[in-house]
Amino acid sequence: MSKSRRKFVLVIGTGWATPARRRVARMIGATLVDCGFGLLTGNSTGIDYWVSDAFCAALRERGESPQDTFRQVSLGWTRLFRRGGLPLPGYAATAECRVPAADVEAWKREAIGRCDAAVMVGGGRGALDIARRVIEQGKPVFPLPFMGGLTGNSDYVFQEILKTWDGHPVPGVSRSQFLRLAEPWVSGTGQLRNLLRGTLAETPDVFISYRRSDAPAAAGRVANDLAEHFGARRVFLDVSGIAPSSAWDESIEGALRACA
């Protein structure tokens, strides 16, 4: 990660986690640590619990503390009466990681305001409202469309976002990139990892080098193809990657360091 502010990913979903959903949640938690992102979630059972457990376990394996990387927006015992899930405590976050919320609306404001992107694994009736509000704040949201079953509302959210894409696209991704969420996870978290890194990258880490005698159009096509796969924020091409008035040598050296 760069020295700038850490990016936080809101992970939310159903309180009724099947073994398959538990596995998905745990894989997401490990992926966030591996990519250097922070985790923001709730205090429910189900997805909230399992993504938190995997995230904090991955941090412990690295000898790191969750204090600066994990935030649990907590409804406290109010959750048992206002939210779904089994009537059991959620993940036992330490006091410095908890962010109290008085009611469901306050929970939404805190969670959406603090996150840089959101991932939805199933979810209840409020899933579409949360997704819309994330998009309205100019942040990407990634509802996983293969959850199905009881409270599998991320499938519905995925379809609704596609229906209204022309007027309300997901910020930072193309429609074809968004559709990759439907691809099976062959290894790790599949395209979700690419989409998160591509939308949240601080600096490019894919450097395109070419000679001035090469056709600029060919280099541009390569850049477009790479941006479609990795995300535009991760691709550096000197024609578009160097801001006006910036020092050329410093910009090139910085891009190369990021790709190391």
Structure tokens at 178: 């968004």
pLDDT of residue 153: 72
Of 39-48, 72-81, 232-241, the range with the lowest mean pLDDT is 232-241
* CATH number, position 109: 3.40.50.450
- List pLDDT tens digits, range 82-127: 544 444 568 889 999 999 998 989 999 999 999 999 999 987 778 8
pLDDT of residue 3: 54
Q: Do 229 and 138 belong to one domain?
A: no
Q: What is the mean pLDDT of residues 167-192?
A: 89
CB neighbourhood size of 109 (10 A): 13
- List pLDDT tens digits, range 151-160: 557 788 999 9
- The residues, any chain, with a CB within 8 Å of residue 170's CB and separated by 6 or more, are 135, 140, 141, 142, 161, 178
Domain that holds residue 251: 206-259
Structure tokens at 254: 């910085």
Phi/psi at 66 (5° precision): -80, -5
Q: How much is the pTM?
A: 0.78
**Closest among 10, 7, 49 to 141, alpha carbons compared:** 10
User: Where would I find the H helices in the chain?
Assistant: 19-35, 47-61, 79-82, 104-114, 127-136, 153-163, 175-179, 191-200, 216-230, 238-241, 248-259
pLDDT of residue 185: 82
Q: Do 111 and 184 belong to one domain?
A: yes
The angle formed by the CA atoms of residues 193, 198 and 199, to the nearest 5 degrees, is: 105
1: in domain: no
Q: Do 189 and 240 belong to one domain?
A: no
pLDDT of residue 62: 96
pLDDT of residue 179: 93
Q: Do 97 and 33 belong to one domain?
A: yes
